[in-house]
Structure 1
Amino acid sequence: MLRYTLKRLAIFVVCFLAVWGLTYAGIVPRGLGGSNFLWVALLALVISAPISFVVLRRERDRASEHVVARVDRAKANLERSRSQEDAADDAMRAQRGLG
């Protein structure tokens, strides 16, 4: 998961630097007043999102499998805990019924 996040951040930084360079060169229009940084960041975000979606497909699938496995383990542990509690409760009720 960390690898995916770092790669996504790297793509954003590359896009940010490219947009900043294009803005500085006058190819891409500057933002209004003092909003140039916000303009460059927003444009870099819009550009980097589809690039990340395509380029990091395998990494995203791998991260998704990791998350699904963790959720499945948590569900199994919860079910095992429930069954132990049910068994202990049934044993307690059986003892009280016999006593």
Structure 2
Amino acid sequence: MLRYTLMRLGVFAGCLVVAWGAVYSGLVPRGFGDSNLFWVVLLALVLSAPISWIVLRKERERASVQIVGRVDRMKANLDANRNQEDAVDESVRTQGQPG
């Protein structure tokens, strides 16, 4: 997951450099007043989203498999704990009843 995040940040950083160059070379209009930095960051976000979606597809799927594995293990642990508690509760109830 960390690898995917770092790759995504790298794509964004590359797009930020390209957007900054495009704005300051005049290929793309500048922002109004003091909003130029906001405009460049917004443009970089818009550019990096589809690029990341296409370029990082395999890495995203690999991260997804890892997350699903973690969630499944956590669910199994919760079920095991729940079953342990049920067994203890059941044994206490059966011992407390007169036979």
TM-score, normalised to structure 1's length?
0.96
Structure 2, unpaired ranges of 5+: none
- 1:5 aligned residue: 5
- 2:40 aligned residue: 40
Runs of 4+ in 1 over 6 A off after TM superposition: none
* Whole-angstrom distance in 1 between the partners of 2:78 and 2:44: 43
Task: In structure 2, give the amino acid aligned to 1:91.
Answer: S
The CA RMSD measured in Å over matched residues stands at: 1.0
Task: In structure 2, give the amino acid aligned to 1:60.
Answer: R
Aligned residues: 99
- 2:63 aligned residue: 63
Q: Deviations over 1:37-87 (max 9, x none)?
A: 100000010000000000010111111111111110010000000111111
State percent identity of aligned pairs: 60
Structure 1, unpaired ranges of 5+: none
Q: Deviations over 1:9-61 (max 9, x none)?
A: 00001001001011111111111111111000000100000000000101111
* Whole-angstrom distance in 2 between the partners of 1:6 and 1:54: 16
TM-score, normalised to structure 2's length?
0.96
